[in-house]
C-alpha cells in the first residue's frame, strides 16, 4: 500500500517537472538549441562576469592592474562615466567575481574550478599569465561553454590553431608581434649582431624567447644560445657564465619579477653582456626593486606602447587614466587598457545575444561565444579590435621599448607597429 | 649490512645482498657516464680555463653559504637526533629583518661612510634575530616534545616552518625586495692573480672565519665539550652533571646565529629577500649536511662546499658535452644524483659515523 502511494506521488511530481521544463515555463528555444544552454539571470539578479587574474604573490601587480581595468569598464558601461555606479544590461547589474590564478598552471586550475562551480558566471576575464591559461583554464571554461577573454596572455601557443581552445580569446597582443619588435629594436637600433635568450619554461617566456630568436635570425643576427632555467633558485651565475662563452652582445630574458631581478643582478655582475633586455612580465616597479635600481639601470624592457594607443588616446589620457589614478593610484602594469577592452567586448556581445523575457534574462552560451568571435572593427581603447577564428582580437599591435633610468622606467625609446601576419 | 645476505659465488661480493650489488652497479654506471660526459665537454674546448675558474669560485661562494646553514642542521641533529626543518626559516628571519636595518643604514648615509662597520652591524643584527627565532622555536616547538618519538618533532618542524614563513609574509609582505648595495663591494679583487667578484671573496672569507671559530669553540671550550658529551649520550652526560637543557638551548642559539650570518652572506651574493627565501637554501643545506655526514661539523662544511661546487660546475662539466640543451635547468638533477651516488658508497656521508653507531 505504502509503496504504491509513493509511486503515485513520484509519478505526479515527475509529470509536473516535465511540464515545467518542457517550454511552458518560458525557456526560449535558443536555449534549447544551444549546446551549453543558457545562463538565466532572474529578476533583480546581477550578470556575473568572472575575473581570473594573478592578484597575490610576486606578480600581483600584473593582475591587480588588469582587475582595475575591468572594474573601470564595468563602471563606465552604460552611463559612459567613471562615477562609481556599476553598469547594467537590461536592468541587471554587472557584477565581477574575482579569483586568483597565481601565475601558474596549478593556480589557474584551482581558480578556474572555483569559478565554474558558480553556474551563473557568463564569461571570464583572464588569465594574466599564459601558464595559467594554456591547456588549463582555457579548457576548464571551454568545457562548460564559458568564454575566457585574456587581457594579458601573450603566448603564441594560446591562439595556435593546434592548441587554441574554441572558447578562448584575447585582447592582448600575440607575442609573435612583440618578439619581432624586440628583435628589430635589437638589430637595428642597438646594432646587436648576436643574442642569447633565457626562458623559465612558462608558455609566455618560451613563446616570446622563441619568437624573438626567429625574428632576430631572420634579421641576420646570430642566436648563440637558448636556454631555460629552473624557477625558485637564487644562483644563476653559472648559467650566465656558460652563456657568456658564446659571446652574445644581447641577453634577452622575457621572464618574471623574481628570477628576472636575480638574472639582471647577476648578468650585470658577470659583465659580459653589452645589452640586457626583458619584456612585460618584468614591466613593473617590483622588478626594479627586485633587481636593485643600480642593476636595472640601462636594461631594456618591452611591452604594449600605451603612448601610441591606436584607439582613443585623448580618452585614455584625459578620462581613463585620471579615473584609474583616483581609485587605484599609479598603474603598476601595462594591461589595464586591454582589460578594459576585454570587458567591453564581452558586455557588447552579451547585449547582442541576451534574450529578454520579462525581467528575466537568458544568455545562450554558444551564441555568446560566436558573437565574441564575430567582433569586427570594435573601437577599443587599445585600438580597433577584430577577433579572428583563433581568438586573437589584436590584429596589429604597437610594442614599445623603454629603459630604466635612475630606478624608473623611461619614456619609450623605440616603438613599432606590426601586424599579426608577418 | 643485514644478516640475510645471500651466499653466492661472486667472490668478493659474496657477503653483499643482491640489492646492494645492484646499487653499486648503478653507481658505477653513473660514474662512468659522468666521466664520459666530462671528457666530451672538455674535448669541445668551448670552455676556457677562465670559465672554469669563475664557475669554481661561484661554487665555493654558494657552497660557503650552504655550509653555514648546514652547520645548524648538523649541530641540532648531533645533539637531539632530530632534523630541524624550520632552520631555513630561521635563516630567512635574520636576512629579511635586517633588510630594514640595511635600508636605514643606507639612507642615513652611514653605510657609505662606514661600509665595513655597517656589514658587521648587519651580521650581528641578523645573527641576533635568527638566534631569537631559533630559541623561540626550541622553547615552543621542540622542548615540549622532548622524549616523544622522533617522527613527532619532525612534523612539528614542518609546521613551524610554514608558520614562520607565513608570519613573516604577514610582517613584511610577499614582494621580493632588494638590499641596498654595500659600497666598496662592487667590482673585482685580484687574488693570487685571479680576479674574483668582491662579494664572493668576502663570503668565502667570512665563512672560513665563522666555521673555524665554531670548530675551536666546540673542541676547546668547556661548553663545547659539554655539547659533545650530550651528543655522545644524553643520559650519561646528565648523570655527569651536565645541564642538558642548557646545552640544547646553546646549540639552538649557535645554529640560529650561524643561520643569521649565512643570511647576510647570502644577501651579499644574491641581494634579494623574500618570505620564502629560506626554503630552497634550507633544503640544499640539509642535503649538504647529509652529504658531509650529518652530525659532523667538518662534514657540514665539506658537504656544503662540495654541493656548491657540484651545482656550479657539475651541469656544464657532466652534461653539456653530451649535447644536452639548457643544462642549467638540470642543476638539481645533477646534485641529487651525486648525493645518491655518495650515499650508495658511503651511507653515512663523507664524514658521518658508521650506521650502527647512530640512533
What pLDDT digit, counting tens, does each position of B11-55 carry? Answer: 555 566 888 888 888 888 888 888 888 888 888 877 888 888 888
Note whether A300 and A240 are same-domain residues: yes
Domains contained in chain B, number? 2
* Cα(B278)–Cα(B133) distance, integer angstroms: 14
Note whether B30 and B69 are same-domain residues: no
Mutate to test the interface with B, among A56, A58, A100, A237 (most CBs of B within 10 A): A237
Note whether A73 and A168 are same-domain residues: yes
Note whether A275 and A289 are same-domain residues: yes
Note whether A199 and A108 are same-domain residues: no
Query: Is A217 contained in some domain?
Result: yes
The interface predicted TM-score of the complex, written ipTM, equals 0.75
Give the per-residue pLDDT at B356: 42
Nearest by CB to residue B181, choosing from A233, A236, A294, is A294
Note whether A89 and A166 are same-domain residues: yes
Map grid coordinates 650585470 to a residue. Answer: A268
Does the pLDDT at position B354 exceed 60? Answer: no
Mean confidence (pLDDT) of chain B: 85
Query: Is A255 contained in some domain?
Result: yes
Query: Is A5 contained in some domain?
Result: no
Phi and psi based region of residue B177 (left: phi greater than 0; alpha: psi -120 to 50; beta: remaining)? beta
Give the per-residue pLDDT at A368: 95
Give the per-residue pLDDT at B12: 56
Note whether B319 and B343 are same-domain residues: yes
Give the per-residue pLDDT at A233: 84
Query: Is A355 contained in some domain?
Result: yes
Query: CATH number, domain at B280?
Result: 1.10.3470
* Cα(B347)–Cα(B281) distance, integer angstroms: 23
Note whether A324 and A248 are same-domain residues: no
Q: Specify the DSSP class assigned to residue A43.
A: T
Residues 39-68 of B with CB under 8 A from A: 46-48, 51, 54-55, 58-59, 62
**B208, B200 contact by CB (below 8 A):** no
Domains contained in chain A, number? 2
Task: Return the C-alpha cell found at A110.
Answer: 584551482
What is the average per-residue pLDDT within B132-142?
Answer: 92
Note whether B164 and B15 are same-domain residues: no
Domain of residue B10: give its range. Answer: 1-42
Beta-carbon contacts below 8 Å between A and B? 104
Note whether B280 contacts A245, CB cutoff 8 Å: no
Mutate to test the interface with A, among B48, B59, B271 (most CBs of A within 10 A): B271
CA distance A357 to chain B (A): 48
Note whether B73 and B123 are same-domain residues: yes
Q: Which residues of chain A have pLDDT under 70?
A: 1-26, 309-311, 421-422
Residues of A in contact with B281 (CB under 8 A): 234
Note whether B254 and B165 are same-domain residues: yes
CA distance A3 to chain B (A): 55
Distances (CA, A) of A167 to A35, A149, A365, B15: 13, 8, 10, 65
Nearest by CB to residue B55, choosing from A60, A238, A266, is A238
CA distance A296 to chain B (A): 11
Note whether B33 and B139 are same-domain residues: no
Note whether A343 and A387 are same-domain residues: yes
Note whether B215 and B336 are same-domain residues: yes
Note whether A241 contacts B58, CB cutoff 8 Å: yes
Strands A194-199 and A222-228, bridge-based pairing: parallel
Domain of residue A296: give its range. Answer: 176-307+400-419
Does the pLDDT at position B139 exceed 70? Answer: yes
Residues of A in contact with B316 (CB under 8 A): 238, 242
Nearest by CB to residue B176, choosing from A236, A244, A258, is A258
pLDDT band with cut points at 50, 70 and 90 for residue B112: confident
What is the average per-residue pLDDT within B217-237?
Answer: 89
* Cα(B190)–Cα(A36) distance, integer angstroms: 71
Query: CATH number, domain at A372?
Result: 3.40.50.2300
Query: Is A136 contained in some domain?
Result: yes
Q: Specify the higher pLDDT residue, B352 or B89.
A: B89
Give the per-residue pLDDT at A311: 65
Query: Is A1 contained in some domain?
Result: no
- The A-side interface with B (CB below 8 A) comprises 56-58, 60, 201, 226-230, 232-239, 241-242, 244-245, 257-258, 261-262, 265-266, 269, 286, 289-292, 294
Note whether A130 and A274 are same-domain residues: no
Note whether A146 and A82 are same-domain residues: yes
Note whether B18 and B137 are same-domain residues: no
* Cα(A138)–Cα(A109) distance, integer angstroms: 9
3-state SS assignment for residue A40 = strand
Radius of gyration for the alpha carbons in chain A, expressed in angstroms and rounded? 24
Q: Which tens digit of pLDDT belongs to each residue from A2-14? A: 556 655 666 555 5
Query: Is A2 contained in some domain?
Result: no
Note whether A229 and A333 are same-domain residues: no
Q: Specify the higher pLDDT residue, A422 or B319.
A: B319
Mutate to test the interface with B, among A199, A205, A226, A234 (most CBs of B within 10 A): A234
Query: Is A251 contained in some domain?
Result: yes
**How deeply is B215 buried, as exposed, middle or buried, from its count of CB atoms within 10 A (0-12, 13-18, 19+)?**
middle
pLDDT band with cut points at 50, 70 and 90 for residue B82: confident
**How deeply is B308 buried, as exposed, middle or buried, from its count of CB atoms within 10 A (0-12, 13-18, 19+)?**
buried
Give the per-residue pLDDT at B151: 86
Note whether B271 and B352 are same-domain residues: yes
What is the average per-residue pLDDT within B114-138?
Answer: 92
Q: Which tens digit of pLDDT belongs to each residue from B231-286? A: 888 888 888 888 888 999 999 999 999 999 999 999 988 888 888 889 889 989 99
Note whether A138 and A163 are same-domain residues: yes
Note whether A277 and A378 are same-domain residues: no
What is the average per-residue pLDDT within B326-352?
Answer: 83
Give the per-residue pLDDT at B359: 36
Q: Which tens digit of pLDDT belongs to each residue from B275-311? A: 888 988 998 999 999 998 888 889 999 999 999 999 9
Residues of A in contact with B271 (CB under 8 A): 265, 292
Amino acid at each position: 500500500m505504502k509503496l504504491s502511494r509513493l509511486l503515485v506521488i513520484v509519478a505526479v511530481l515527475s509529470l509536473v517537472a516535465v511540464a515545467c521544463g518542457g517550454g511552458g515555463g518560458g525557456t526560449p528555444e535558443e536555449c534549447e538549441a544551444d549546446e551549453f544552454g543558457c545562463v538565466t539571470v532572474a529578476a533583480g539578479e546581477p550578470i556575473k562576469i568572472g575575473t581570473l587574474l594573478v592578484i597575490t604573490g610576486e606578480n600581483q601587480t600584473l593582475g591587480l592592474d588588469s582587475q582595475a581595468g575591468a572594474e573601470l569598464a564595468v563602471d563606465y558601461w552604460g552611463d559612459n562615466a567613471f562615477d562609481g555606479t556599476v553598469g547594467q544590461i537590461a536592468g541587471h547589474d554587472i557584477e565581477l567575481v574575482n579569483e586568483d590564478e597565481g601565475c601558474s598552471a596549478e593556480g589557474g586550475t584551482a581558480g578556474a574550478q572555483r569559478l565554474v562551480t558558480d553556474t551563473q558566471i557568463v564569461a571570464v576575464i583572464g588569465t594574466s599569465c599564459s601558464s595559467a591559461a594554456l591547456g588549463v583554464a582555457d579548457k576548464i571554461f571551454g568545457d562548460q561553454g564559458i568564454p575566457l577573454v585574456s587581457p594579458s596572455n601573450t603566448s603564441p601557443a594560446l591562439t595556435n590553431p593546434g592548441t587554441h581552445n574554441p572558447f578562448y580569446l584575447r585582447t592582448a597582443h600575440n607575442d609573435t608581434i612583440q618578439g619581432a619588435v624586440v628583435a628589430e629594436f635589437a638589430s637595428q637600433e642597438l646594432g646587436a649582431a648576436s643574442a642569447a635568450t633565457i626562458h623559465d619554461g612558462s608558455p609566455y617566456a618560451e613563446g616570446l624567447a622563441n619568437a624573438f630568436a626567429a625574428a632576430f635570425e631572420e634579421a641576420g643576427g646570430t642566436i648563440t644560445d637558448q636556454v631555460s632555467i629552473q624557477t625558485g633558485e637564487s644562483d644563476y651565475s653559472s648559467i650566465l657564465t656558460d652563456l657568456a662563452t658564446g659571446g652574445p652582445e644581447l641577453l634577452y630574458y622575457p621572464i618574471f619579477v623574481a628570477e628576472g631581478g636575480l638574472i639582471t643582478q647577476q648578468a650585470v655582475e658577470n659583465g659580459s653582456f653589452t645589452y640586457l633586455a626583458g619584456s612585460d612580465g618584468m614591466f613593473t616597479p617590483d622588478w626594479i626593486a627586485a633587481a636593485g635600481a643600480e642593476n636595472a639601470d640601462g636594461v631594456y624592457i618591452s611591452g604594449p606602447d600605451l603612448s601610441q594607443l591606436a584607439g582613443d588616446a585623448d580618452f585614455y589620457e584625459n578620462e581613463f587614466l585620471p579615473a584609474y589614478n583616483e581609485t587605484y593610484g599609479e598603474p603598476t602594469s601595462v594591461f589595464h587598457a586591454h582589460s578594459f577592452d576585454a570587458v567591453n567586448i564581452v558586455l557588447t556581445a552579451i547585449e547582442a545575444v541576451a534574450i529578454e523575457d520579462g525581467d528575466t534574462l537568458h544568455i545562450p552560451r554558444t551564441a555568446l561565444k560566436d558573437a565574441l568571435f564575430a567582433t569586427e572593427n570594435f573601437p577599443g581603447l587599445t585600438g580597433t579590435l577584430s577577433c579572428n577564428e583563433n581568438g586573437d582580437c589584436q590584429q596589429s599591435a604597437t610594442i614599445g621599448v623603454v629603459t630604466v633610468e635612475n630606478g624608473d622606467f623611461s619614456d619609450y625609446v623605440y616603438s613599432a607597429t606590426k601586424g599579426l601576419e608577418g | 649490512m643485514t644478516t640475510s645476505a645471500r651466499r653466492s659465488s661472486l667472490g668478493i661480493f659474496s657477503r653483499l645482498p643482491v640489492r646492494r650489488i645492484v646499487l653499486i652497479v648503478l653507481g658505477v654506471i653513473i660514474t662512468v657516464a659522468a666521466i664520459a660526459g666530462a671528457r666530451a665537454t672538455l674535448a669541445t674546448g668551448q670552455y676556457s680555463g677562465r670559465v672554469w675558474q669563475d664557475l669554481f669560485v661561484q661554487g665555493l661562494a654558494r657552497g660557503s653559504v650552504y655550509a653555514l646553514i648546514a652547520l645548524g642542521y648538523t649541530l641540532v641533529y648531533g645533539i637531539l637526533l632530530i632534523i630541524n626543518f624550520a632552520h631555513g626559516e630561521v635563516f630567512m628571519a635574520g636576512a629579511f629583518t635586517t633588510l630594514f636595518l640595511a635600508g636605514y643604514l643606507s639612507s642615513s648615509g652611514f653605510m657609505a661612510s662606514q661600509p665595513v662597520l655597517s656589514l658587521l652591524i648587519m651580521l650581528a643584527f641578523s645573527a641576533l634575530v635568527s638566534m631569537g627565532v631559533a630559541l623561540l622555536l626550541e622553547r615552543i616547538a621542540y622542548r615540549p616534545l622532548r622524549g616523544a618519538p622522533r617522527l613527532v618533532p619532525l612534523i612539528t618542524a614542518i609546521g613551524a616552518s610554514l608558520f614562520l614563513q607565513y608570519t613573516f609574509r604577514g610582517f613584511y609582505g610577499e614582494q621580493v625586495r632588494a638590499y641596498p648595495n654595500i659600497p666598496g663591494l662592487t667590482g673585482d679583487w685580484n687574488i693570487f692573480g685571479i680576479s674574483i667578484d668582491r662579494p664572493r671573496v668576502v663570503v668565502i672569507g667570512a665563512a672560513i672565519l665563522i666555521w673555524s671559530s665554531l670548530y675551536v669553540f666546540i673542541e676547546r671550550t668547556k661548553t663545547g665539550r659539554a655539547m659533545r658529551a650530550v651528543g655522545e649520550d644524553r643520559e650519561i652526560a646528565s648523570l655527569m652533571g651536565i645541564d642538558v637543557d642548557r646545552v640544547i638551548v646553546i646549540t639552538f642559539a649557535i645554529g640560529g646565529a650561524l643561520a643569521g650570518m649565512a643570511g647576510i652572506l647570502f644577501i651579499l651574493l644574491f641581494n634579494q629577500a623574500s618570505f620564502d627565501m629560506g626554503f630552497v637554501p634550507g633544503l640544499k643545506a640539509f642535503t649538504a649536511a647529509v652529504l658531509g655526514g650529518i652530525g659532523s661539523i667538518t662534514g657540514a662544511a665539506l658537504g656544503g662546499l662540495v654541493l656548491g661546487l657540484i651545482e656550479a660546475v657539475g651541469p656544464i662539466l657532466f652534461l653539456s658535452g653530451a649535447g644536452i640543451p639548457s643544462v642549467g635547468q638540470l642543476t638539481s638533477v645533477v646534485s641529487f644524483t651525486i648525493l645518491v651516488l655518495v650515499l650508495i658508497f658511503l651511507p653515512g656521508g663523507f664524514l658521518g659515523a658508521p650506521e650502527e653507531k647512530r640512533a
